[in-house]
Amino acid sequence: MSKEVSYPQDEPNFNVALALSLVIFGFDGIEFQVLTVPSSYSPFKGALILPSKYLTEKDELLLSARKLFEGIVGEQNEITIEQLRAFGGVYRHPNGRVVNVPHYALVKKVDFRNSKWLEFGLKWYPVKMVPDLAYDHNEVVEYALERLKRRVKRRPVGFHLLSEEFTLGQLQNLYESALGKKFDRRNFRKKLFNTTLIIDLEKAADGIEKGQKKGSKLYKFNSAEYDKMKIQGYDFLF
């Protein structure tokens, strides 16, 4: 005879808070960076954290992430925001049980409202030099980086991170920084040219923008090909 299984019927405990954090990745032409902000709440008031907010019972997750993003960056025509896994360690928040549902987003740094940096104390850090963050936000950043690596291998994310006109050196910097590895310059370009993802603009860079070498050829992304790859995916492996 099989043992009878009892399903727990405990009364729900609603004394649990829900929070949302946003890992915003930017690219400055040389390396990936993460945006931080000083915390406004105790017990870590003033300590660096990821941009975050507490949610109410009516707040939808992705919409809240989008509003948080646009409150910092401003409205964007196309936003890459993806939900990560929940971080629900029992003691991750000293003031009580708070479950964090972080998202990550990609942004062109040139699109930022500079006034927000002064108003909220926003600051970029290279992904390899992110300082100690309050709560478990360093763990959140590491998880988001792994998600970014997988996306870079399967989706052409450069549209969200590079200027409209860029050099191949900047594009290689993007992939090397995202994946944490160096590529052979000749092999990288050979595999890139085997796609139809970029268009030669037949003009040279002035070297003003970070990561651009003066005289290097400028390219732009092929929008039609990008839209196709965004849906179908591709293997851009080195």
CATH fit for domain 17-150, picks 3.90.79.10, 3.30.930.10, 1.20.1090.10, 3.40.50.150: 3.90.79.10
> Given a cut of 80, is residue 127 above it in pLDDT?
yes
> Given a cut of 60, is residue 237 above it in pLDDT?
no
- Would you state the pLDDT for residue 84? 96
Q: What are the pLDDT digits (tens) for 140-158?
A: 999 999 999 888 877 777 7
- Would you state the pLDDT for residue 138? 97
Which amino acid does the sequence have at 153? Answer: K
> Helices in the chain by DSSP H: which ranges?
61-73, 114-120, 137-154, 168-179, 185-193, 223-232
pTM here is: 0.85
Residue 3 binned pLDDT confidence (cut-offs 50, 70, 90): low
Could you name the CATH architecture of 157-232? Orthogonal Bundle (1.10)
Please report, for residues 43, 202, 214, the alpha-carbon distance to residue 113 in angstroms, rounded to integers and kept in the order given: 29, 32, 27
Q: What are the pLDDT digits (tens) for 32-50?
A: 999 999 998 888 989 999 9
Q: What are the pLDDT digits (tens) for 79-109?
A: 789 999 999 888 888 878 889 999 999 888 7
- Residues 59 and 38 sit within 8 Å (Cβ to Cβ): no
> Given a cut of 90, is residue 113 above it in pLDDT?
no
Shared fold status for 17-150 and 157-232: no
Which amino acid does the sequence have at 5? Answer: V
Residue among 55, 42, 39, 40 nearest 132 (CA):
39
Percentage above 90 pLDDT, the chain: 41
Domain boundaries along the sequence of the chain:
17-150, 157-232
Residue 59 binned pLDDT confidence (cut-offs 50, 70, 90): very high
Q: Which residue has the higher pLDDT, 83 or 75?
A: 83
Query: Which two tokens mark 122?
Result: 């926003």
